[in-house]
Structure 1
């Protein structure tokens, strides 16, 4: 079995609600957060399969087409390649918030589907997010959970807290 690093996208991998970008609806709005390329490369080097699991309700709400989302994800992959980093798979929920679909975080279906597809040992894997729905999805899927960022989501009952993804990667490399 493989070990996975499941990453939320907005707020973990790329800027959102920043001075430069509010929402990422076009490739030009996508900007990697500092240290993300290096972090994902470290995860790759440590033998983790790296996945992106992201709610993209903007599709269901009509703010973005799925083709634009694919272009955004291609820009993410291209930007990460500059660091020698790679994402093994990306999955997303295109439904509106409150649609009560099976795939939208905090439900764990995206994680479970990727785990099944890539033979992932969830008990030894991690879900990294910046909000409570990410942490709940990770716990429901059976992963360890890590909250990153400075939004201080009081409801998020994560197993661990770090300021950013590079801090997580450095902790993993240092042997936990």
Structure 2
């Protein structure tokens, strides 16, 4: 099975320092939805793994998070794409949970659900915590320069094995070549 794990905000859609708190605020990054559709067409299972601390902080509820994700799924369907699953951590940043990236719990849940070893599985993110979670789970870290990616690239803690791409479309182009 070809599996790729994507962060949501900053990889698939525009990020916001104030969080994406409504479906109306969810705006796809140009080319990202088409990139997912291309991955699907080439046999990739595409899964989202996203920290959503806005739920734990009370900024929005599960109904709103579901509506935001529904908007994303419908937008993907319009270009012939789909997600195989959406995993998220709803806990606040000060939580001791094991699912909040940079901890690997969310990725390990995906591995268990899909019955796969994460060795070599691309995990695409725009923040250091996405890449650290990938390494901790034994997956392959991919940094996109969209979202917070430009700042993350300059971080001295960037995992040495990280592959850097301008955006999700560039990753999809390489993985489907």
Q: Normalized against structure 2, the TM-score is what?
A: 0.91
User: Does residue 158 of structure 2 align to residue 162 of structure 1?
Assistant: no
Partner of 2:71 in structure 1? 75
1:148 aligns with 2:144: yes
Could you tell me which runs of 5 or more consecutive residues in structure 2 were left unpaired when the two chains were aligned. none
| Residues matched between the structures, number | 170
1:15-30 → structure 2 map (5 Å cutoff): 15-17=14-16, 22-30=18-26
Contact 1:131 1:156 in 2 (8 A): no
1:52 is aligned to 48
Distance 1:140 1:106, change over 3 A: same
| Structure 1 moving runs of 4+ over 3 Å | none
Deviation at 1:110, TM superposition (A): 1.0
In structure 1, C-alpha distance between the alignment counterparts of 2:158 and 2:125, rounded to whole Å: 10
Aligned residue in 1 for 2:4? 5
Q: Give the TM-score of the pair, scaled to structure 1.
A: 0.92
Please, what is the CA RMSD of the aligned residues? 1.4
Summarize deviations over 1:72-91 as a string: whole Å, max 9, x none. Answer: 00110000001100000001
